[in-house]
Amino acid sequence: MLRGKARRDRGAAYAAGADGTGGDPLDAAQERRVRAVLALGGVPQSDLPDGVQQVRLRLLERAASGREAPRDVSAWAAVVASNLAMDWHRAKRRQERLGERLAALRAPAHASGEETSLLSLAVARGLDELPAAQRQVVVLRFFADLPVRAIAEELGIPEGTVKSRLHTAVRALRDRLHEDEVA
């Protein structure tokens, strides 16, 4: 019983924030990282605040249930944000192919000749075309800057699987950029 109570107390402490005053469970750096993972995962700017709140809610629910704090809250939050981005994509596909419509609307804007815009759009399209599992490891590795070992631990898959997915995804993105003659 004492062990369970100690766990609940520790959970309440991490849910209450670092200062114990009931503050935000995510610090500013963690929130920026969550926003970046969501944005790079294809979630629109208008939905980013809701995504950040979902990560906070899941952290608070974890604490309220008495589970221990994640070893690395920042990495845990990035993985949760990545999963939220995948969920957002699944919902988007059920409703419509918004990506195709946006690409059609942006076609005239490419005449401006901004190479950075072209590259960004090509990378975004390439990410959208990747299978969800590959897109997830690319975003976690290159945009959330998590090491392979942390990605494997957080996703519950072997490091070799993470490396394989990264290799396949990077090759597909490189091929896509060459097809579009961007790189």
* Helices vs. strands in the chain: H and E counts, helices first: 9, 0
More confident residue, 94 or 174: 174
State the DSSP H helix or E strand holding residue 94, giving kind and residue range, or none if neither: helix 73-95
pLDDT of 163 higher than 90: yes
Segments making up each domain of the chain, as ranges:
26-103+115-179
pLDDT of residue 21: 45
CA dihedral 166, 140, 98, 47 (to 10 degrees): 180
Identity of the residue numbered 51: G
CATH code of domain 26-103+115-179: 1.10.10.10
DSSP letter string, 132-147: HHHHHHHIIIIIS---
Query: pLDDT tens across 93-119, in order?
Result: 766 654 555 556 655 544 445 666 777
At residue 2 the predicted structure's pLDDT band, cuts being 50, 70 and 90, is very low
CA dihedral 20, 25, 29, 32 (to 10 degrees): -150
The average pLDDT across 106-134 equals 71
Count of other CB atoms within 10 angstroms of residue 42: 18
More confident residue, 172 or 124: 172
Query: pLDDT tens across 8-29, in order?
Result: 333 444 545 533 446 688 899 9
At residue 123 the predicted structure's pLDDT band, cuts being 50, 70 and 90, is confident
Q: Which two tokens stand for residue 20?
A: 């114990």
∠111-142-73 over CA atoms, to 5°? 130
pLDDT of 183 higher than 90: no
